[in-house]
Structure 1
Amino acid sequence: MDIQVVNEYVYTGLSFTVPKNTLFIFTARAFYNNSEPLGISITSSDSSYSKSTVIENNEKYPTTLTSIYDRSAEEVTHYIWAKYKSVGKNKIGIWGTVIK
């Protein structure tokens, strides 16, 4: 991810979809490569970041979120946003397990 906006959340281009009736356990992390990460969020939108779209957020170092999404009656897509202290290229990672 090439960070061009600092001190505010930007969409990382990463998303995940949880199929219906599936348990999903995952971890998302904003790494420190060229810039210090200030936060990472999971939202319900890839086009706007607001209090109403945030599902989970972490603004502590290390900027890592681990979450469990319980079985839902319908498929759900979530989006990863990150906030960095300065511009630069950084790595964002998602790891997960799906259980049907």
Structure 2
Amino acid sequence: MSPYHDSQDPETEIKNLMKKIGFRDISVKVHELSFDFIRGIDEFSDMMKCLNPFEGLENKWEDFIADYVQLDPNASTIVYQLLVVSGKK
């Protein structure tokens, strides 16, 4: 998971960090994107299995996904931010 996952202003944080370590001509852009799983929930479930951060969930996976989808009917679409960062040193 990105260290900026919970950041309210990742652009400013990254720019400040890059300045602090000697970069100049800094560009940080945040792109709001989404990804739709072609096979819907089945494909989403397969992807989540390989990213599973929870120990001991293997035997309860189907119940977990069913609960997750019930809470978020749009689970087969992931909305995310892509950070594009460049600078010169």
TM-score normalized by structure 2? Answer: 0.30
Which structure dedicates a bigger proportion of its chain to helix? 2
Which structure dedicates a bigger proportion of its chain to strand? 1
Q: Higher Cα Rg: structure 1 or 2?
A: 2
TM-score normalized by structure 1? Answer: 0.27
